[in-house]
Copies of this chain bind each other. A is one copy, B any other.
Amino acid sequence: MRRRLLSVCIVAALSGGYAAAAFAQAKPETLVKQRKAAMTMQGKYFYGSLNPMAQGKIPYDAAVAARNAGYLEVLSKLPWDGFAESTKDQKDTGALPAIWTEPAKFKAAQDRLQTAVAALVAATKGGNEATVKAAIGDLGKACGNCHDNFAKQ
């Protein structure tokens, strides 16, 4: 049996119980690792590709822009359940207490991000390069808005 995969299975099995979303209840450190992974993946497709396209640092590629916007449509949904109350006291995270003291504002920041991603997806379907680049800029501001308020600087 494969040790790495097995260890993941054991963590899932030992954690017991289940969360509302039908997840095996994850340990706080696992939730932090997963939410960081979701952020890393968003960074890959935004800062590693879309943003430099919008800034003219790499050539604009409409197909890649559309594909990455589609990836971000999924990825932008994935970090948030990792910010469970159980993770409040975790170290090695940039998360600020405001995440838990201002949950409505945190949710609004997530919604702004997802709205900006949806606008980018729509723009890539429209096929106008300037519109896509503007939507990329708005998406970057939505990233920044959330980091300004809820992540250590």
Contact = CB atoms under 8 A, between A and B. Distances in A.
Interface stretch (A30-38, A101-109, A117-125, A131-139): A30-38
Contacts of A98: none
A114 interface: no
Contacts of A37: 36-38, 40-41, 44
Contacts of A38: 37, 41
A60 to B, nearest CB: 8
Given A37-B36, A38-B41, A74-B71, A57 B143 contact: no
Contacts of A44: 26, 34, 37, 78
A91 interface: no
Contacts of A30: 48
Main SS of the interface on chain A? helix
B9 A47 contact: yes
16 contacts: A2-B151, A4-B147, A5-B143, A9-B47, A18-B58, A18-B59, A22-B58, A22-B64, A24-B48, A30-B48, A33-B40, A34-B40, A37-B37, A70-B74, A71-B74, A71-B77
Interface of A: 2-5, 8-9, 11-13, 18, 21-24, 26, 30, 33-34, 36-38, 40-41, 43-44, 47-49, 51-53, 57-59, 61, 64, 70-71, 74-75, 77-78, 94, 143-144, 147-148, 151-153
